[in-house]
Amino acid sequence: MTSKKIKIIVLIVFMGCFIFNAFSLGSGIYNDYQNDSIDYEIKEEIRNAPPDVLEELQIDDINNIDEDVVIKLKNKYFMNAIIVVLVISLFLAIVEPILLWIILIAIYLSRKKYMKLKLSSVDFSKDKSYYRDVLKEYSPSVLSYIDNFSINYTSSLLGDLLALEQRKMITINQDNITLLSKEGKDNLPITLKYVFENIVNGNLNIDKYTYENTIIKEARNFNLLEDDKKVKSHIKKEILISIIIYIIFIIVTIVLFNNIENINVMNNILLVFVVFFIFFILFLILTYYPLTKIISLVILTNKLKHNNGIRTSIGEEVNLKLEGLKNFLKDFSILDEKTKEELIIWQDYLIYSVIFNQNTKIVDKYKNVIK
């Protein structure tokens, strides 16, 4: 779920709760406004009012009160009541769907944490730095994975096949693959070696799950990705911190409750408000924080279980070079129009244009080989 969707859901639920409560409470106020008994109560208040108030209202005879004065006061009370209704509706719109807020906030926090762990500022930067050197030691599919942590099966696999053809080990045809030589097979990166060894009778015999695991294994062999144990240790540390903070909040609340009777607040309206505000904030923290944090960590754990790649410092350096390569290929070449036959000229640059989805012409022509 994207941040935009979460914000839309929050807005819809909040506005729905606010409108519902405002309508429910407001309808009661409106019915009271239409009730004649209100007029009688207002007149009674006027009769019991002190002289300065009567003078302000320009009332000389309390037994003969002008109806315009009653209507004026009635409208004033009604407007004040509407303001109170709006404030209460706002409060209820925040408090009522508390479980939904916890879940949505947890999703948002887990997504934010997930993006922070997996991606760096380079991934979101619009910097136009360039990098021209090729990264020959890595399989093209590994570079694609380090770039965005996703595996586009067709473009990644075709990039690996082009790397094998560049080494003159195979020839890619529209419907099959021709094996040329096994020379240098043992020196291939493990992903290229896996692809090469699974070309059988001119066809690819690739298991997607094994292929993806081989890509991740190669990335870890080159120390481009963090170890699983380190990631899990980081999450356990986060959970432990959350529990400690939760315990601290509970202790603080217990201390405040035990000492509340020693605080004389009833004669000080401002102090009453401050104490109420403090307890309300503590209530929200104790309600929202632990559950939100725990749920967000559970969601994060589940996400990392399915896609647990987190770049090391070396991986970040490679990613920075890849961003520079993408900028260079996009701004200083016309590789989107090149064909496989021009591989001998453009070499690795043509392969990168395929894995970065800049050249779809080659992908469209040879996608049947991948199938």
Please indicate, yes or no, if residue 124 is contained in any of the structural domains: no
Q: Domain span at residue 265?
A: 228-306
Domain count for the chain: 3
pLDDT for 188: 94
Nearest Cα residue to 368 out of 174, 201, 177, 204: 174
Residues 6+ apart with CB under 8 A from 141: 151, 156, 157, 159, 160, 191, 211, 215, 355
Tokens coding 331: 């701004």
Q: Could you say which of 256, 281, 306 is where a domain stops?
A: 306
pLDDT digits (tens, 9 = 90+) for 118-156: 555 445 455 567 788 888 899 999 999 998 888 888 999
| DSSP SS3 for 357 | coil
Angle between helical axes of 98-118 and 3-34 (0-180°, round to 10): 160
Shared-domain flag, residues 236 and 331 = no
Shared-domain flag, residues 262 and 323 = no
pLDDT for 196: 94
Residues 6+ apart with CB under 8 A from 123: 148, 319, 323
Q: Could you say which of 291, 306, 321 is where a domain stops?
A: 306
Shared-domain flag, residues 197 and 322 = yes
Indicate whether 361 pLDDT > 70.
yes
From CA 302, how far away is CA 306, in angstroms rounded?
Answer: 7
Residues 6+ apart with CB under 8 A from 161: 170, 172, 177, 195, 366, 369
Shared-domain flag, residues 332 and 217 = yes
Please indicate, yes or no, if residue 105 is contained in any of the structural domains: no
Shared-domain flag, residues 21 and 168 = no
From CA 47, how far away is CA 37, in angstroms rounded?
Answer: 15
pTM: 0.58
Average pLDDT of the residues of the chain:
77
Please indicate, yes or no, if residue 39 is contained in any of the structural domains: yes
pLDDT digits (tens, 9 = 90+) for 272-323: 566 666 766 766 666 566 666 666 666 666 656 555 567 888 988 898 898 8
